[in-house]
Chain A
Amino acid sequence: MPREIVRTENLCCSYRTGRVLEDISVTVEAGDYVGIVGPNGSGKSTLVRALLGLCAISDGTALLFGVPCGRFGEWGRVGYLPQSLDQLNPVFPATVAETVGLGLLSLKRFPCRLTGVDRNTVDSMLEELGVYHLKHKLIGELSGGQQQRVLLARALVNEPELLILDEPTAALDPETRERFYRLIADINRNRGVTVLLVTHDSGAVGQHASKMLYLDKRLLFFGSFEQFCLSPEMSALFGEHSQHLMCHRH
């Protein structure tokens, strides 16, 4: 029986402006690659932020590896890549190696010390993601695509079982975006890492993800992309033409 990585039951989240998520019940199993799509303001980012304990849950439950999100502490099992580090100071003086090394803190106890073995782990991860040549560069000096690769290395360096990506390609050009999606698909396939990808790009979800989660504050669809494309409910919701466009695989 497949292992449950994420389970939500009637999950609700609210901001001052009102409800952003209502009655979300989904189960993500080990090895799944789930693309989370939906229009702006549909609660995609709120869902992953709630799972990570970064925003409060107003009702229902959310479990990470069987533990309620508010009490979850095994952060070594989770990797997270945010949309982009908008607030990253361009003169921030950390090198790529220093930045990626911070991902290993989730495996350490206080006081967190990075050893020679840790530095080798960082080097291997940089090599694997093709950014070893940037090791001594300052993170603020890199292009958007390079920064995202380095932050992905940071998210993967602790060998997580679950990788959560929140619109990681928003600032990338189409070519870099496609390379990035292929990389994530490889990580899911070859390492068996469960992936939750928040994106606007339903085409990319169709091409790479094993499951699609369509949100618009409520859960509109959760299943495989094939089921989505054949679903009469989705035809009724989007219209056949729109559904056809969304299901068009590149």
Chain B
Amino acid sequence: MNLLEILSYAFIQRALLAGTLIAVLCSLLGVFLVLRRMSLIGDGLAHITFGSTAIALAMKLYSASSLLVSLPIVLLSSLGILKLTEKTRLSGDAAIGIVSALGISAGIILASVGGGYNVDLLSYLFGNILAITSEEVNIAVGLFCVVMVLLSLFYNELLAVTFNEELARISGVHTNIVNAVLVLLTALSVVLAMKLVGIMLISSLLILPAASALQLARSFRSCMMFSALQGGCSVVLGIFLSFATNLPTSATVVMLNLAFFGCAFLVRRLLDPGV
């Protein structure tokens, strides 16, 4: 089967379009999250997504309709993580851990009450990008546009807060608003990325492209571009590779990202042996 033949399948076209957009979003947000040592927020929110999906499935809401339940719960939880770190004497990772445990335990209880794990819930655990529906593609395109507009509007404020929150505040940046925007955008992207790599592997899409970009970037803007490029390429190549080798797509995408990170690390070592 050649490349053109693969591209002629509607499910591949949907996977490529939605997958690339979601991966680019995660990769861009990942740069801010990694630099702010909030990398694992994706994991925490993914676990909340698991719990909320269990609620949606218990309410007989499937596929895109499940987003009606997941999105508000995950968005609120992301603000909850922020409040926990602000109002308690907890560091970000502890707050993420608490919310994460809450999400996964709620999901397990609900799945158990609802008669055990069904196929739909398992597809959210490990991702199934090839099963993405047209409706989900439309939602992905819409949310991609929303997130990109917000990212470009808040770019300088996000950079300032990521560099140093106190200095940002003294530059007149409303740091509370900027922090809320960052976690809300992350929450949106995590919910979208569920179908792509699944709850178990979601944080890799947020962390690995940013981690690779940090090895090579010579400015913040180039770091964002490297990260987005790796995220997008890993999904496109991952879909083709998994199709050709009959391997699970989500795991293939993650392994490709790991390979890119290894290459970036080696290139950095070659360019700067002192590191």
Residues of chain A touching chain B, judged by Cβ–Cβ distance below 8 Å, are 52-54, 73, 75-76, 78, 80, 82, 85, 87-89, 91-95, 98-99, 101-103, 105-106, 110-114, 136, 138, 154
Is B171 in contact with A95, judged by CB distance below 8 angstroms? no
Contacts of A111 in B (CB 8 A): 153-154, 156
Interface string of B144-170 (1 = CB under 8 A from A): 000000000110110110011011111
Output the least CB separation between B214 and chain A (Å).
5
Is B164 in contact with A95, judged by CB distance below 8 angstroms? no
Closest to A80 in B: B170
Output the least CB separation between A64 and chain B (Å).
11
Contacts of B160 in A (CB 8 A): 102, 105
Is A98 in contact with B159, judged by CB distance below 8 angstroms? yes
Q: Is B143 an interface residue (CB 8 A)?
A: no
Given known A93-B223, A94-B219, A99-B163, contact A105–B169 (CB-CB < 8 A): no
Given known A91-B214, A98-B219, contact A52–B163 (CB-CB < 8 A): no
Q: How far is the CA of A52 from the CA of B168 in the complex (A)?
A: 12
Number of A-B residue pairs at CB separation under 8 A: 78
Is A94 in contact with B159, judged by CB distance below 8 angstroms? yes
Q: Is B172 an interface residue (CB 8 A)?
A: yes
Q: Is B64 an interface residue (CB 8 A)?
A: no
Given known A93-B220, A136-B218, contact A102–B163 (CB-CB < 8 A): yes
Is B220 in contact with A98, judged by CB distance below 8 angstroms? yes
Q: How far is the CA of A101 from the CA of B157 in the complex (A)?
A: 11
Interface centre among A75, A93, A103, A112 (most CB of B within 10 A): A93
Closest to B152 in A: A111
Is A93 in contact with B217, judged by CB distance below 8 angstroms? yes
Within 8 A of A (CB), among B117-156: 153-154, 156
Is B159 in contact with A85, judged by CB distance below 8 angstroms? no
Q: When the two chains form the complex, which single residue of B154, B164, B170 contacts A85, counting CB atoms closer than 8 Å?
A: B164
Is B172 in contact with A75, judged by CB distance below 8 angstroms? yes
Is B166 in contact with A54, judged by CB distance below 8 angstroms? yes
Output the least CB separation between B139 and chain A (Å).
26
Contacts of A94 in B (CB 8 A): 159, 163, 219-220
Interface centre among A52, A91, A113 (most CB of B within 10 A): A91
Output the least CB separation between A131 and chain B (Å).
16
Output the least CB separation between A108 and chain B (Å).
8
Is B167 in contact with A80, judged by CB distance below 8 angstroms? yes
Output the least CB separation between A83 and chain B (Å).
11
Output the least CB separation between B87 and chain A (Å).
15
Q: How far is the CA of A85 from the CA of B168 in the complex (A)?
A: 13
Contacts of A136 in B (CB 8 A): 218-219
Is A95 in contact with B163, judged by CB distance below 8 angstroms? no
Known: A52-B170, A76-B172, A95-B219. 10 other contacts (CB 8 A): A53-B169, A54-B166, A93-B35, A94-B159, A94-B220, A95-B218, A102-B163, A105-B156, A111-B156, A138-B218
Interface string of B196-238 (1 = CB under 8 A from A): 0000000000000000011001111111000000000000000
Is B156 in contact with A113, judged by CB distance below 8 angstroms? yes
Closest to A74 in B: B172
Closest to A137 in B: B218
Q: Is B173 an interface residue (CB 8 A)?
A: yes
Q: How far is the CA of A105 from the CA of B166 in the complex (A)?
A: 14
Q: How far is the CA of A102 from the CA of B169 in the complex (A)?
A: 11
Interface centre among B160, B164, B170, B218 (most CB of A within 10 A): B170
Closest to A138 in B: B218
Contacts of B221 in A (CB 8 A): 98
Q: When the two chains form the complex, which single residue of A52, A89, A114, A138 contacts B35, counting CB atoms closer than 8 Å?
A: A89
Output the least CB separation between B37 and chain A (Å).
8
Is B163 in contact with A92, judged by CB distance below 8 angstroms? yes
Contacts of B159 in A (CB 8 A): 94, 98, 102
Q: How far is the CA of A73 from the CA of B170 in the complex (A)?
A: 9
Output the least CB separation between A45 and chain B (Å).
12
Q: How far is the CA of A101 from the CA of B166 in the complex (A)?
A: 16
Is B220 in contact with A73, judged by CB distance below 8 angstroms? no
Q: When the two chains form the complex, which single residue of B35, B166, B172, B213 contacts A92, counting CB atoms closer than 8 Å?
A: B35
Q: How far is the CA of A113 from the CA of B156 in the complex (A)?
A: 7
Is A105 in contact with B35, judged by CB distance below 8 angstroms? no
